[in-house]
Amino acid sequence: MGQIFDKIAGALERWVSSASTAHEATTAVHAKKILSCAHLFTFDKPSQDFLPKSYTEEEAAFANENFFLPFKTIAIEDAATMTLLSDDEKHHRGAAGNRLVFDVAIRGTNKVNFAKDDPDIPWLPGQQVVMTTGVVSCLRFGAGIGAVNQANVGEIVSISFYEDGHIELVTGAQAHALGLQTVLLTRQALIKNALVAFHEVLYINNPDYFIISEQNDHEVERQRKRNGNRIARTHQRPTYKALRPTEIRKRLRLSLEKGASPRVHERRAHIRRFRSEKFTHKRGQVKIIKACWVGKSTAQIDGRTYRVLLNLRPPLESSGADHEGLIPGSET
């Protein structure tokens, strides 16, 4: 995995060096900077193969109140697309806040990896990569089978990268004025894929899973020593997965230490709200429950370092701040 991430990284680098206007140059530099600092999560399956089909009322209410990104800026790549999500400067908790979204599609992706209701975007001759960006707000998760999960998106910007090196930037307003069906469909895809990415974040944040990072030590060190502005590719940066403790132990070649607590007690740091009436003074308050892990949490295997992120905690601050606009032209 990581092929889409690497392709858009190369495309953005070329755009920075070839931008023909000041506006394009500013937009390209901002996009490159955001992608550079993203923490890349990967899934080797299409999202419809592992995401839950519905949420209970309690699960949906908890998600709306406590949704958070595990890092301020993350990129999630599954078998179909890559979507980048970024909080504003305050890295907040709650579904309704404003979050910047990059949605990246690569020409030639196998259609079997897409859901049946995904918009079928007609590719233009020579068009290889399309990145659509906008600020998503008012996210709300619904409960029950067939529930409508809602989100608003403001003005979008669509950037197309062509085989001959040509780069085309079109805003949503320009697309409407020109009747550009491809760009209009990418807006639908942005909303759809953003919602999928938000559901993938809920999957990642499930306290039954721990986040594990993996990196090629030699390549990461080589990238660190380089003097340049190149975006670290997948093999040159840590990548992240959400796995159950038993899966992590197999990957790290660890076994449960004799006499240690049962694995069922292992639990990732998570949010708890005191709701019971027995909590006279704490009722309504939010508390971070610390992570519990048995034994070693780091391993070096065949030149790769694996780490279970035990100190990764959700933000306590609620959403509510306005997005400051990381991409010129985007607005809520």
The first and second tokens of residue 212, run together, are 């594990």
d(CA 202, CA 182) in angstroms, rounded, equals 30
CA-CA distances (angstroms) from residue 278 to 65, 245, 274? Answer: 22, 33, 9
94-98, 113-117, 163-167, 255-259: the lowest-pLDDT one: 255-259
Query: Smallest Cα–Cα separation from 225: which of 236, 235, 234, 233?
Result: 236
Answer yes or no: is pLDDT of 306 > 90: yes
Contact 13, 81 (CB under 8 A): no
Residue, of 137 and 212, whose pLDDT is higher: 212
Tell me, what's the pLDDT at 176? 64
- Give residue-wise pLDDT tens across range 12-33: 999 999 888 898 899 999 999 9
d(CA 26, CA 34) in angstroms, rounded, equals 12
Answer yes or no: is pLDDT of 326 > 60: no
Indicate the pLDDT class of residue 117, thresholds 50, 70 and 90: low
- Give residue-wise pLDDT tens across range 270-281: 777 665 556 555
Answer yes or no: is pLDDT of 248 > 80: yes
The first and second tokens of residue 123, run together, are 């590719």
Domain extent listing, the chain: 3-204, 210-308
- Give residue-wise pLDDT tens across range 31-70: 999 999 999 999 988 888 888 888 888 888 888 888 999 9
Indicate the pLDDT class of residue 203, thresholds 50, 70 and 90: very high
Q: What is the pTM of this model?
A: 0.85
Tell me, what's the pLDDT at 278? 61
CA dihedral 322, 67, 121, 5 (to 10 degrees): 90
